[in-house]
Amino acid sequence: MKFDQPATPNPIDQERVVTRPHTRLEGPLKVTGQAPYAYEYQLPEAPTYGFVLGAGIARGKIRSIDTAAAEAAPGVLLVLTHENMPAQGASDTPVPQQEDASPQLAGPEVRHYHQAVAFVVAETFEQARAAASLIEVEYEVTPGQFTLADTVDSGEEPDDAADSVVGHFDRAFDEAAVTVDLTYTTPDQSQAPMEPHATIAHWEGEGLTVHTAHQVVHWVRRGLAMTLKVPQKNVRVISAYVGGGFGTKLLFFSDAVLSAAAARVLGRPVKTALQRPLIFNNTSHRAATIQRVRLGADRAGNLSAVGHDTWTGNLPGGDSEPACEQTKYLYAGPNRQIRTRQSELDLPPGASMRAPGEAVGMLALEGAMDELAEKLGLDPVELRLMNDVPFDPEKGPKRPFSSRKLAQALRTGARAFGWDGRPRTPRERQEGEWLIGYGVASAFRTNLVKPSGATVRLEPGGTLTVETQMTDIGTGSYTILGQVAAEMLGLTLEQVQVRLGDSEYPASSGSGGSWGANSASAGVYAACDALRRDLAAKAGYTHANAVFRNGKVWQGAECTELSALAGREGVSANGSMTYGDLDEQFAQAGFGAHFVEVRVNAHTAEIRVNRALSVVGAGRILNPITARSQCLGGMTMGIGSALMEELHVDHDLGLFVNHDLGEYHVPVHADIPDMDVIFLDELDDASSPLRAKGLGELGISGVGAAVANAVYNATGVRVRDFPITLDKILAGWDD
């Protein structure tokens, strides 16, 4: 099925199951410990255990590596290095690689700290770990570049972020009545999922089965097949439950590649979980940015010039952090200049982290909008409303937004939050020793869709089974897809069984980029539509007139039980959803608004978030419980990004030194206030047959800026170097 025309009325519009607040189907399994994550699968044969030894330098070469003591250690079965690693191919699947070296196993060249230099397999984890400590590696160190600020002059336009120039920005900015020219910096950040990157690999003849923690099954299947030089049809990947990913599990790393290679050599299963320091330094992270935002407006507040420059860094061939992306679409302004420059750094690979681009880009853009509003003497909400635009600002009215609820979100949020009670000037409101401040920011996330497929099978007895490669990374995929299938076939959710995360099932979008629920649901929709047609024909009804309700298919007053149509063998159908050019005809994005109240201690500058509200327009909300959870999670990450998340770089050795959850600070329960979410009524006909849009990353996009703006409103101190910590507030007071 191809979605190339705006959605028309369809069975999803009944909303008997879809849009209803169903709790998670897999919830009982998770809370009772019965949902197996990658490292927990039980195999008939006892597994061996792998341990990855990471490089002790950031850049250079391995002069020699002595594994004799490790190989002689108790329980050790195999030690792999670049000297005996089976030959591997290059993958075109997203995976950081170095040139002229085996993917995921360094040697002789080392490109970043903690890149794998050896892999030890033993009968127990403790034996493998102990043996790894016996390996002696002698390095030849090459000086590296680990500081973004020192490389901005060498930055070049990256392939994945072309310059965008409309009108005459420099002239318009120079002639604007009121301007701001501001620089913001954001640090390296880690996805730090609770579940580590982990894999169990085992071979049966020429067939490889990999249980691994990954967000997109067909990506890792293809990538492993190419890397290991085996036919893709010989690789099976299972990722039924994934304990968080936030982008880092869109890639595959040393645990998957080395476990599979070692299992083939040994003829035994190998299971590997990356130790926490390697999750920070061996896998991916969100790269630091330096951002310059320039805005020019007339004295009424109408934007005439919008400029956003970003500098970021990565290993050679790595993607950029697209922090300018939202600035292309969020506000009006006829003269625009959006540019990204990327330089080479010798840090671990930079890649996607929740809301890549917008999460940090909106810290800068929405901070600059707040500062412009103050300079104009305007309410920050009013300035945003004035510059709302119904079409793509770069391409004009010929490319309207398919739906855009920004203004409604701002107005709804302002009323619900009590924005009228906002302190009009910094340090105006104090309660005891606490300064109180309010902040606002817009929310934005580009709507993406991906091809996705599924198999649905009406079982004897009238229940329905759904199978698709789609993953559940804590987002509620099992429940949402079950709701869509139930709606399409006129069943209750309890009559649907959903099976996910197996490459034996039809390829799916997977989870990432906020495309997962909408895209995978559309694939299930297509499969169910095919099954509806088959069942209607089997009942002797016309498909266009068939109504599926209460376990029956109806045509007028006549009906047939689905169980009767299933018979003794059941009836199955396959379907997939692909897309036309509606995303070219219409700009598509989710919009919203964040409102935050903070209190800052007038003596210590300790920052506490009192309350936060997000108002979201993201198309049809398929399940308000799982959607709310996604928004609350995004808001929590946004608060962390604003106030605490920061990878500290050792600028001599080239590693992230706070590489564990004890020293990489993220919000805990005590840090998170009373948070609420309001969903706006919205249907986006150009997005999918479900009229839904991406949601998972909208919650983080902008909330950090609302926190920062609230901190300024409370303290009178603008901090543009994130995260905002009390020392920076105190330094502002001292000035």
584-612 pLDDT, tens per residue?
Answer: 999 999 999 999 999 999 999 999 999 99
d(CA 316, CA 35): 39
- The enclosing H or E element of 678 equals strand 674-679
Of all residues in the chain, the percent with pLDDT exceeding 90 is 96
Contact 705, 368 (CB under 8 A): no
- Looking at the structure of the chain, the number of domains it has is 2
Of all residues in the chain, the percent with pLDDT exceeding 70 is 99
d(CA 608, CA 601): 8
Domain stop point among 584, 618, 650: 584
Q: Do both 693 and 626 map to the same domain? A: yes
**Closest alpha carbon to 526 in 510, 512, 508:** 508
Q: Do both 605 and 716 map to the same domain? A: yes
Residue 7 lies in a domain: yes
Q: Do both 513 and 619 map to the same domain? A: no
d(CA 539, CA 528): 16
Question: Cβ–Cβ contacts within 10 Å for residue 542, how many?
Answer: 10
d(CA 262, CA 79): 9
pLDDT tier at 554, thresholds 50, 70, 90: very high
Q: Do both 636 and 573 map to the same domain? A: no
Length of the chain: 735
Residue 663 lies in a domain: yes
Mean pLDDT of the chain: 96
CA distances from 488 to 37, 160, 653 (A): 30, 39, 57
d(CA 729, CA 354): 27
Q: Do both 729 and 592 map to the same domain? A: yes
d(CA 438, CA 443): 16
pLDDT tier at 531, thresholds 50, 70, 90: very high
**pLDDT, position 21:** 98
Q: How far is CA 427 from the centre of its chain?
A: 36
pLDDT tier at 87, thresholds 50, 70, 90: confident
Residue 605 lies in a domain: yes
Q: Do both 598 and 535 map to the same domain? A: no
Please state which of the ranges 96-105, 524-533, 658-667 shows the lowest mean pLDDT: 96-105
Q: How far is CA 691 from the centre of its chain?
A: 21
Query: Interior CA angle at 398 toward 394 and 401, to 5°?
Result: 75
Residue 378 lies in a domain: yes
d(CA 459, CA 456): 9
Expressed as residue numbers, the domain containing 406 is 357-447+588-734
Residue 676 lies in a domain: yes
- Catalytic, 71? Answer no
Beta pairing partners, 295: 180, 306
**DSSP string spanning 552-591?**
EEEETTEEEEHHHHHTTT-EEEEEEEEE-SHHHHSB-EEE
d(CA 633, CA 514): 13
Strands 674-679 and 607-617: parallel
Report the pLDDT averaged over residues 681-686. Answer: 98
Q: At 116, is the secondary structure helix, strand, or coil?
A: strand
CA distances from 81 to 99, 305, 587, 718 (A): 17, 55, 49, 50
Q: Do both 618 and 715 map to the same domain? A: yes
Tokens of 403: 């739906």
**DSSP string spanning 494-551?**
GGEEEEESBTTSPP---S-TT-HHHHHHHHHHHHHHHHHHHHHHHHT--GGG-EEETT
d(CA 666, CA 246): 14
**pLDDT, position 89:** 85
Q: How far is CA 154 from the centre of its chain?
A: 29
pLDDT per residue as tens digits for the range 407-448: 999 999 999 999 999 999 999 999 999 999 999 999 999 999
SS3 per-residue string spanning 492-508? CHHHEEEEECECCCCCC
Contact 518, 684 (CB under 8 A): no
Q: How far is CA 31 from the centre of its chain?
A: 24
Question: Cβ–Cβ contacts within 10 Å for residue 692, how many?
Answer: 30
Spatial strand order of the sheet with 136-141 comes to: 109-110, 60-66, 136-141
d(CA 417, CA 479): 31
- The enclosing H or E element of 232 equals none
**pLDDT, position 94:** 63
Q: At 112, is the secondary structure helix, strand, or coil?
A: coil
Query: For residue 494, which amino acid is it?
Result: E
**pLDDT, position 90:** 83
Flag whether pLDDT at 245 surpasses 70.
yes
- The enclosing H or E element of 29 equals helix 27-31
Q: Do both 601 and 641 map to the same domain? A: yes
Flag whether pLDDT at 506 surpasses 80.
yes
Q: Is cis: bond before 108, omega within 30 of 0?
A: yes
Residue 615 lies in a domain: yes
Contact 410, 384 (CB under 8 A): yes
* CATH code, 519: 3.30.365.10
**Closest alpha carbon to 514 in 599, 389, 600, 616:** 616
d(CA 560, CA 572): 17
Tokens of 544: 């266009």
Q: Do both 520 and 420 map to the same domain? A: no
Q: Do both 422 and 526 map to the same domain? A: no
Contact 519, 230 (CB under 8 A): no
CA distances from 259 to 47, 116, 271, 632 (A): 11, 12, 6, 36
Flag whether pLDDT at 628 surpasses 50.
yes
Give helix 703-715 / helix 726-734 axis angle, nearest 10°.
40
**What contacts 177, CB < 8 A, 6 or more positions away?**
296, 297, 298, 299
Tell me which DSSP letter residue 150 carries.
G
**pLDDT, position 103:** 65
**pLDDT, position 373:** 98
**Closest alpha carbon to 724 in 597, 594, 608:** 608
Flag whether pLDDT at 3 surpasses 60.
yes
Q: Do both 536 and 646 map to the same domain? A: no
Residue 643 lies in a domain: yes
Domain stop point among 546, 564, 584: 584
Flag whether pLDDT at 388 surpasses 70.
yes
Flag whether pLDDT at 249 surpasses 60.
yes
Domain stop point among 565, 584, 603: 584
Flag whether pLDDT at 27 surpasses 70.
yes
Q: Do both 512 and 607 map to the same domain? A: no
Contact 589, 422 (CB under 8 A): no
**pLDDT, position 100:** 39
d(CA 370, CA 383): 9
Query: For residue 185, which amino acid is it?
Result: T
Flag whether pLDDT at 97 surpasses 50.
no
Tokens of 221: 């299947």
d(CA 715, CA 428): 9
Contact 202, 289 (CB under 8 A): no
**pLDDT, position 102:** 47
Report the pLDDT averaged over residues 494-519. Answer: 97
Q: Which phi-psi region, left, alpha or beta, contains residue 300 (left: φ > 0; alpha: ψ -120 to 50)?
A: alpha
pLDDT per residue as tens digits for the range 146-169: 999 999 999 999 999 999 999 999
Residue 693 lies in a domain: yes
d(CA 342, CA 376): 34
Report the pLDDT averaged over residues 606-627. Answer: 98
Contact 210, 238 (CB under 8 A): yes
Residue at token pair 């095919």: 530
d(CA 224, CA 234): 11
Flag whether pLDDT at 673 surpasses 90.
no
**Closest alpha carbon to 422 in 372, 385, 346, 370:** 370
Residue at token pair 């993958």: 91
pLDDT tier at 92, thresholds 50, 70, 90: confident
SS3 per-residue string spanning 598-618? EEEECCCCCEEEEEEEEEEEC
